[in-house]
Amino acid sequence: MGKRRVPDLYRAPFPLYSIKIDPKAGLLVVAGGGGASNTGIKNGLHFLELQLVGENQYSASLVHSHDTATRATMNLALGHGVIAAGQDGTCSLMKFEDCAQKREGKPSNDVAMYKPMIFFFQFPSLKKKFDFKAHEGEIEDLDLSPGNKHLVTVGRDFACSVWRNNQQVMGLKWHETIQVAEKTYRYMACRFGKVEDQKDGLRLYTVQIPHKRERKPPPCYLTKWEGKSFLPMLTAPCGGEVISSLAVSDSGTFLGLGTITGSVAIYIAFSLQRLYYVKESHAIVVTDLAFLPDTFKGQSIKGNNETAMISVAVDSRCQLHAVHNRRTFPLWIVLFFCGLVVVGIVLLLQYFIPGFL
């Protein structure tokens, strides 16, 4: 697909860095800001209500805003009525009540975070369980498997490590899957995902980007790993634009990618083939992505779309990217045409070979 314009779902008064969706209330939580500098750009969290207008048109309206003073929120985690917001060197916890009733956020405790280290806290007591040094230098991304059995971390030190509690289980070696030099690429993101139609199936997806910028950029890569043994299953190129964000749909069927040039893509998780692509949909870096959840609220708002994903970027825009249901033919039509083909072949044989029947 070529370059096309995706309508803005919402435009915030500050750069956007993160988005999460409350699967219960179906609200979008977007966050960002201008930081501590005196530029006049605010910092905050906005709660948006998403609505389906017609068959495939969407709108989002602001239902609540929460000012975060001088701290810009760079990343979010959400669950059970609590928002964890990464802000500079701290992680702010904010409790919020059922958004359908109160629609408000309330600031709570701040927990110090240091990037080369991993900290585990018991919730809600916030008692530290253990901490350990995971990488040399900055940690780029991390994700917990369902049930919190494994933690996967990626760092700027070229490493991707699997941990159980504070013990390293193994280090992943993606470059051995396609025979490239070990330090020409580095890991950028990691996400666990379910396997469609497999109750206990689990996959891990990682993104690898070139370590150095070149005039003719080499491709970035997606790698799919078995989520329990962590053996590589498939590696595929995903274009020359440097990847900046990764998301996995609730069902594990789709992967979302955003780039530093503002492009957005959706891939089929099974084959790592690209299904949807909009070049430079945003004016600048796509900072986060989120698929509409597979809940009653999420399903009803998808309309006639197979999946829908929301992107946010530094250009302050929030956009929705939908993949329409792929057309399928009823089984009786397929059988009918197969029958016609068989009859046609028999008649041709009878014509050219008299006495065939």
**Residue 297 contacts residue 23 (beta carbons within 8 Å):** yes
Distant-in-sequence, close-in-space partners of 81: CB < 8 Å, separation ≥ 6:
95, 96, 97, 98
Least confident of 78-87, 108-117, 255-264: 108-117
Does residue 7 fall inside a structural domain?
no
pLDDT score of 145 more than 90: yes
The residue range of the domain holding 346 is: 332-357
Does residue 352 fall inside a structural domain?
yes
Which pLDDT score is estimated for 94? 86
Does residue 344 fall inside a structural domain?
yes
Which pLDDT score is estimated for 54? 74
- Mean pLDDT for 344-354 is 71
Least confident of 6-10, 186-190, 297-301, 316-320: 297-301
Amino acid identity for residue 227 in this structure = G
Does residue 244 fall inside a structural domain?
no
User: What is the pTM (predicted TM-score) of this model?
Assistant: 0.85
Number of domains in the chain: 1
What confidence category does residue 105 fall into, taking pLDDT thresholds of 50, 70 and 90? very low
- Mean pLDDT for 335-357 is 71
Least confident of 91-95, 96-100, 185-189: 96-100
Which pLDDT score is estimated for 329? 46
**Residue 215 contacts residue 196 (beta carbons within 8 Å):** no
Which pLDDT score is estimated for 12? 96
What confidence category does residue 186 fall into, taking pLDDT thresholds of 50, 70 and 90? very high
> What does the pLDDT look like over 54-64, one tens digit per residue?
777 888 999 99
pLDDT score of 165 more than 80: yes
Which pLDDT score is estimated for 272? 97
- Mean pLDDT for 246-272 is 97
Pairing of strands 286-291, 273-278: unpaired
Looking at mean pLDDT, say which of 56-70, 85-99, 115-129, 319-333 comes out highest. 56-70
Does residue 72 fall inside a structural domain?
no
pLDDT score of 2 more than 60: no
Least confident of 47-61, 96-110, 243-257: 96-110
What confidence category does residue 107 fall into, taking pLDDT thresholds of 50, 70 and 90? very low
**Residue 244 contacts residue 285 (beta carbons within 8 Å):** yes
- Mean pLDDT for 326-348 is 66
Does residue 53 fall inside a structural domain?
no
Does residue 219 fall inside a structural domain?
no
Does residue 11 fall inside a structural domain?
no
Least confident of 129-138, 243-252, 283-292: 129-138
pLDDT score of 76 more than 80: yes
The rounded mean pLDDT for the chain is 86
Amino acid identity for residue 355 in this structure = G
What confidence category does residue 39 fall into, taking pLDDT thresholds of 50, 70 and 90? confident
In a 13 Å sphere around the CA of 5, the CA atoms on its Cβ side amount to: 2
